[in-house]
Structure 1
Amino acid sequence: MNIEQQDFYTQAILSMAALVGLTSFLMLGQGRLLRLIFVFALQGLLLTLTTALAAYSLNSPHLYISAMMTLILKVIFIPWMLRRQVLLMNMHRDVEALKNNTAVMLGGAGLMVFSYYVLHPIVQTSSAIMLNALAVSLSVVLLGMLLMISHRQAVAHVVGFMAIENGLFFAAIVATKGMPMVVELGVAFDVLVAAVLFGIFFFHIRTSIDSLDVDRMNRLHEVDQ
Structure 2
Amino acid sequence: MHSLAFDIAHALAGSMVVLSFLLLYQDRVYALLNVFALHSLALALAVGWQAYLQDAHHLYVTAVVALLFKAIAIPTALHRIVRRLDIHRTLEVVGGVGRDMLAGAALVALAIMVMLPVTEGSNALARQDLAFALAVVLLGLLLMVNRHNAISLVIGFMSLENGLVLAAAGALGMPLVVEISVAFSVLIALIVIGVFLFRIRERFDSVDMQAMDTFREGRRK
CA distance in 2, matches of 1:223, 1:210: 16
- Out of 128, 134, 143, the residue aligned to residue 147 of structure 1 is 143
* Corresponding residue for residue 49 of structure 2: 53
Counterpart for residue 12 of structure 1: 8
Of 200-209 and 48-57, deviating more is 48-57
Aligned equivalent of 2:132, options 121, 131, 136: 136
Give CA deviations for 1:137-177 in whole Å, capped at 9, x if unaligned.
1111111111011111100010000011011000001122x
Instruction: For 1:13 and 1:116, locate their aligned partners in 2 and report how far apart those are by CA, in whole Å.
Output: 17
1:211 aligns with 2:213: no
Seq. identity, %: 38
Q: Residue 207 of structure 1: SS of its match in structure 2?
A: helix
Counterparts of 1:54-203 in structure 2, within 5 Å, are 54-92=50-88, 94-98=89-93, 99-176=95-172, 178-203=173-198
Match of 1:41 in 2: 37
1:220 lines up with 2:215 in the alignment: yes
Query: Do the aligned residues in 1 keep the contact of 2:85 with 2:198 (CA within 8 Å)?
Result: no
Structure 1 length as normaliser, TM-score? 0.90
Which shows bigger deviation, 215-224 or 13-22? 215-224
- 1:51–1:66: 8 Å Cα contact kept in structure 2? yes
1:108-149 superposed Cα distances (whole Å, 9 cap, x missing partner): 111001110112221234322122111111111111111011
Q: Which structure is higher in helix share?
A: 2
Q: Give yes or no for contact 1:38–1:79 (8 Å, CA) kept in 2.
A: yes
Q: Which amino acid aligns with 1:116?
A: I
2:215 partner SS: coil
What CA distance in whole angstroms lies between the structure 1 residues aligned with 2:83 and 2:53? 41
* Letter in structure 2 aligned against 1:211: S
Q: Match for 2:22 among 5, 26, 34?
A: 26
State the AA in 1 paired with 2:99.
Answer: A
Deviation at 1:40, TM superposition (A): 0.6
Question: Conserved in 2, the CA contact under 8 Å of 1:129 and 1:175?
Answer: no
Question: Which segments of 5 or more consecutive residues in structure 1 lack a partner in the other structure?
Answer: none
Following the alignment from structure 2 to structure 1, what is the Cα–Cα distance between the partners of residues 156 and 35? 12
Contact 2:92 2:148 in 1 (8 A): no
**Are the counterparts in 1 of residues 119 and 127 from structure 2 also a CA contact under 8 Å?**
yes
Task: Name the amino acid aligned to 1:204.
Answer: R
CA deviation after TM superposition for structure 1 residue 86, in Å: 1.8
What value does the CA root-mean-square deviation take over the aligned residues?
1.8
| Deviation of 1:6 (Å) | 4.1
Decide whether aligned partners of structure 1 residues 101 and 223 sit closer, same or farther in structure 2, where only a CA change above 3 A counts. closer
For the residues of structure 1 that align with 2:83 and 2:144, how far apart are their CA atoms? 21
Alignment length (residue pairs):
218
